[in-house]
Amino acid sequence: MSFLTLTRIQKSFGPVQVVKDFNMAIEKGEFVSFLGPSGCGKTTVLRMIAGFESPSGGAITINGRNQNDLRPNQRNIGMVFQAYALFPNMNVFDNVAFGLKVAGRPKAEIETRVKEMLKLIHLEHLADRFPFQMSGGQQQRVALARALAPKPQVLLLDEPLSALDAKIRVSLREEIRMIQQQLGITTVFVTHDQEEALSISDRIVVMNAGRADQIGSPFDIYNRPATRFVANFVGTLNLIDAKVVDPSANRVSIGDQGVTLREPLGAVKAGDTVSLALRPEAGSIAEGAKGDTALTGTVVSTNFLGSVIRTRMKVGASVISFDMFNAPGLVPPSVGETVTLRFTASDLLVIRD
């Protein structure tokens, strides 16, 4: 049996249904990210797990026990908020100790546990500081330690890194993942940042308009998007309209160029239009590049993005982007130049909604 289960969860605010038949089974010790744009319902689901919102329908269970009628303080859940939510009149030690004091733990136990938590987040030397004397990254680590101190069954993190600058975000997300693995705590992480979700999750739930569009490993979510929404939202992706030429042979045309797909086209007929997905890093225009499939087009733009150079070429009515790794001496193609992009047919995915 899964450790944390959400069965047909629904939530409405007045006439507006913001979560619709949401189902999820999370294993003990798993790190799951809810990924999606603002307003998709991911934070609402998190708040229902925490007990801050009540489901309009469905059931939430933790370790086999129904949570629907339990108050937040009865659920043994740790929560880390986007805005830190530290007590400004308490120093670091007392902030971390707060939940233990509320639970009535003995003083000696509190002192030992707080020291363990401060060592875990590498802030033992700042125990006497107040929140205003610390950086945003340090404050968020204190918030994490406070959530973990009472030894919760489940850790919930609601966009905990969104207020931090880029470099701090990367280091802190790695630290959160390391601590989660070290403690083996079941964790649900809410974010709208694809890179965050892809880099630290065991599984990702891509949410769209109150539903889970796709649930899978980072590898599957990125390489095998199940819907047009997932394909558009996760990473950079070319969505290409192709006309079916011979469905039995998986033959399509992009512009006036024929392509044979590896993936079956399914229930379509000749003349139908299908959507294909191709990642920018899948192909190469280098001389001698390997691949069983090629598309030739005219370059319409070239953009320098640091480690890669992204070029866009027009093929029929479609504009296709492809990436080249930046290197000294690399000369990107010029606007108006004709280039041939080579890739393998298996890199072209058929998008089915």
pLDDT tens for each residue of 50-99: 999 999 999 999 999 999 999 999 999 999 998 888 999 999 999 999 99
Picking from 195-204, 254-263, 285-294, which range would have the lowest pLDDT averaged per residue?
A: 285-294
Predicted confidence band of residue 246 (pLDDT cuts 50, 70, 90): very high
Task: Answer whether 187's CB lies under 8 Å from 155's CB.
Answer: yes
Q: Name residue 178's amino acid.
A: M
Picking from 93-102, 110-119, 231-240, 308-317, which range would have the lowest pLDDT averaged per residue?
A: 231-240
**pLDDT above 90: residue 12:** yes
Q: In the β-sheet with 338-343, what is the strand arrangement from edge to edge? A: 318-325, 308-315, 293-304, 338-343
Give, as one character, the DSSP assignment of residue 4: E
pLDDT tens for each residue of 318-328: 999 999 998 88
Task: Answer whether 259's CB lies under 8 Å from 251's CB.
Answer: yes
Task: State percent of the chain over pLDDT 70.
Answer: 99
pLDDT given for residue 165 in this prediction: 84
- Tell me the HSE value of 299 on the side-chain side, using a 13 A CA sphere: 19
Task: State percent of the chain over pLDDT 90.
Answer: 80
pLDDT given for residue 14 in this prediction: 92
Task: Answer whether 148's CB lies under 8 Å from 78's CB.
Answer: yes
The residues, ordered by sequence, that sit 6+ positions from 79 with a Cβ below 8 Å of its Cβ are 50, 147, 155, 156, 157, 158
CA–CA separation, 251 vs 262, rounded Å?
A: 9
**pLDDT above 70: residue 353:** no
pLDDT given for residue 209 in this prediction: 93
pLDDT given for residue 219 in this prediction: 94
pTM: 0.87
* 33-37: average pLDDT: 95
pLDDT given for residue 125 in this prediction: 94
Which single residue is written with the structure tokens 């908020």? 81
Fold assignment, 236-350: OB fold (Dihydrolipoamide Acetyltransferase, E2P) (2.40.50)
Which tokens hold the place of 222? 């990125």
pLDDT given for residue 266 in this prediction: 83
Q: In the β-sheet with 57-62, what is the strand arrangement from edge to edge? A: 16-26, 4-13, 57-62, 65-66
CA–CA separation, 207 vs 142, rounded Å?
A: 29
pLDDT given for residue 58 in this prediction: 96
* 9-29: average pLDDT: 95
E strands of the chain, at which residues? 4-13, 16-26, 31-35, 57-62, 65-66, 77-80, 154-158, 186-191, 203-208, 211-216, 238-246, 251-254, 257-260, 273-278, 293-304, 308-315, 318-325, 338-343, 349-350
Which tokens hold the place of 323? 């990436």
Q: Name residue 85's amino acid.
A: A
The residues, ordered by sequence, that sit 6+ positions from 214 with a Cβ below 8 Å of its Cβ are 205, 206, 221, 225, 226, 227, 230
Fold assignment, 4-232: Rossmann fold (3.40.50)
**pLDDT above 90: residue 48:** yes
Domain ranges of the chain: 4-232, 236-350
Number of Cβ within 10 Å of residue 211's Cβ equals 17
**pLDDT above 90: residue 236:** no
